[in-house]
């Protein structure tokens, strides 16, 4: 049979990518999902060797050879296909040997979304752990000499001859003031890791309401906060102050990003609470979790920052410390949770998931 002479149009309706390879391993056919997965039209893909499209294509070549030699009828495999200049494709692949000597191999590819998501969460967790250590070590490294620098500047000031005191004191004061500023920064870096966890029963809507009143006090006009609460959510054990700080940091960023809309008067924040069933956080499966959203209609997170906003000292604002989201992530993780972010212009959605017992 010649498989290409059969009607393949229906395959464009499938969500799975379908490719038919000729005896050389070149693409003879790709359905619409395959075009979108490979980010090229069939016109461009046609006659290209599939294995050549990936840095580690030799894996595909090997499977193709086995298929051509008919070592199996069909085969399933999870693959990570690396591409030049783009993120790798994580796919679940099914290879089927077809009874057509000219086009002997049919490949189905499905993007492994679940795995992608797990990997991402795992990365966030690892990253936060690494951040914490980095911050702690760095803060201590800075803190120790800082005391010495400040002290030396004070001694120097006392030794200054009277006739130069006026002009030179300006310099020693710069050293002292800047040391104090760094000291405050360092203390803020160390604080969250030192502060004890004060655990009690937390009603998440009280957390939202506190943050709401703090934000409204700071941005009294031009910004509205819409509440979309599921009031049936249960209370849970946690540190209310930490959670308020986490939500406040997120909402505060949103309000800052909304500056232009606040002037126009149509800035909006949404606080949403829901419950979700069956979530996996840090590889552990939980039956129930709080699903909280803080959504703003601002310009969105700048593309160059998107992957790094949870890193310490990453800020898109003049004078920003870049610590707000790092702290928020740490606090939420201490509650068996995670913060994720999805951002487009006009809709930035910070999602907090917290596992319930
Ligand atoms: N809702 C948002 N909309 C647009 N950009 C955001 C939003 N939230 C965070 N950001 C970006 O992420 C950066 C990091 O935030 P954060 O860690 O709180 O540090 P800081 O607020 O001190 O800059 C911000 O400077 C901003 O560029
Ligand atoms: Mg901030």
Instruction: Tell me the best of 258, 304, 325 to mutate to test the pocket of ligand 1, counting ligand atoms within 8 Å of each CB and taking the most.
Output: 325
Task: Classify 322 as helix, strand or coil.
Answer: coil
Q: pLDDT tens-digit profile of 51-101? A: 999 999 998 899 999 998 989 988 999 888 888 877 788 889 999 998 898
Structure confidence at residue 116 (pLDDT): 64
Determine whether the shortest distance from the Cβ of 294 to ligand 1 is under 6 A: no
Determine whether the shortest distance from the Cβ of 257 to ligand 1 is under 6 A: yes
Determine whether the shortest distance from the Cβ of 309 to ligand 1 is under 6 A: yes
Per DSSP, helices labelled H in the chain are: 32-37, 42-45, 58-68, 113-159, 162-194, 204-218, 240-257, 259-264, 324-333
Determine whether the shortest distance from the Cβ of 223 to ligand 1 is under 6 A: no
Structure confidence at residue 235 (pLDDT): 95
Determine whether the shortest distance from the Cβ of 316 to ligand 1 is under 6 A: yes
Structure confidence at residue 192 (pLDDT): 64
Determine whether the shortest distance from the Cβ of 322 to ligand 1 is under 6 A: yes
Structure confidence at residue 261 (pLDDT): 97
Q: pLDDT tens-digit profile of 154-170? A: 999 999 998 888 889 98
Q: Ligand 2 centroid to 254 CA: how many Å?
A: 9
Q: pLDDT tens-digit profile of 275-305? A: 999 888 877 889 999 999 999 999 999 999 9
Residue with tokens 């920052």: 305
By alpha-carbon position, which residue is closest to atom 13 of ligand 1? Answer: 315
Whether this model's pTM surpasses 0.75? no
Q: Ligand 1 centroid to 253 CA: how many Å?
A: 5
Distance CA 297, CA 348 (A): 7
Low-confidence ranges of the chain (pLDDT < 70): 1, 114-117, 192-196
Closest ligand to residue 323's CA: 1
| 52-72 CB burial, b ≥16 within 10 A, e <16 | ebbeebebbeebbeebbeeee
Structure confidence at residue 194 (pLDDT): 55
Determine whether the shortest distance from the Cβ of 269 to ligand 1 is under 6 A: no
Specify whether the CB–CB gap between 317 and 336 falls below 8 A.
Answer: no
Specify whether the CB–CB gap between 326 and 245 falls below 8 A.
Answer: no
Structure confidence at residue 11 (pLDDT): 86
By alpha-carbon position, which residue is closest to atom 27 of ligand 1? Answer: 316
Longest CA span, the chain: 103
Closest ligand to residue 309's CA: 1
Q: Which atom of ligand 1 is nearest to the CA of 326?
A: 17
């Amino acid at each position: 049979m010649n498989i290409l002479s059969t009607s393949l149009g229906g395959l464009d309706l499938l969500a799975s990518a379908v490719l038919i390879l000729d005896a050389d391993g070149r693409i003879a056919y790709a359905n619409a999902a395959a075009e979108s997965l490979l980010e090229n039209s069939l016109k461009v893909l046609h006659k290209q060797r599939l294995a050549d499209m990936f840095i580690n294509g030799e894996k595909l070549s090997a499977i193709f050879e086995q298929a051509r030699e008919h070592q199996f009828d069909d085969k399933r495999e999870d693959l990570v296909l690396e591409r030049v200049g783009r993120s790798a494709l994580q796919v679940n692949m099914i290879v089927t040997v077809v009874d057509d000597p000219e086009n002997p191999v049919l490949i189905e590819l499905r993007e492994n979304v679940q795995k992608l998501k797990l990997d991402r969460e795992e990365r966030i967790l690892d990253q936060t752990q690494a951040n914490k250590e980095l911050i702690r070590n760095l803060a201590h490294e800075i803190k120790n000499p800082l005391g010495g620098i400040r002290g030396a500047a004070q001694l120097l000031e006392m030794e200054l001859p009277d006739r130069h005191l006026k002009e030179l004191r300006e310099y020693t004061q710069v050293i002292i003031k800047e040391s104090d500023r760094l000291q405050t920064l360092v203390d803020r870096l160390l604080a969250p890791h030192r502060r004890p966890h004060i655990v009690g029963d937390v009603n998440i809507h009280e957390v939202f309401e506190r943050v709401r009143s703090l934000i409204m006090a700071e941005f009294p006009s031009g910004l509205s906060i819409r509440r979309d609460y599921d009031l049936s959510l249960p209370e849970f054990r946690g540190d209310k102050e930490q959670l308020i700080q986490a939500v406040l940091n997120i909402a505060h960023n949103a309000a800052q990003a909304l500056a232009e809309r606040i002037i126009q008067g149509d800035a909006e924040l949404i606080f949403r609470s829901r419950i979700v069933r069956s979530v996996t956080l840090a590889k552990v499966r939980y039956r129930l979790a709080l699903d909280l959203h803080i959504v703003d209609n601002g310009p969105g997170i700048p593309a160059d920052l998107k992957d790094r906003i949870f890193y310490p000292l990453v800020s898109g604002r003049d004078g920003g410390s870049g610590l707000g989201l790092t702290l928020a992530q740490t606090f939420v993780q201490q509650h068996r949770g995670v913060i994720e972010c999805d951002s487009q212009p006009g809709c930035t959605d910070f999602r907090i998931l917290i596992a319930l017992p």
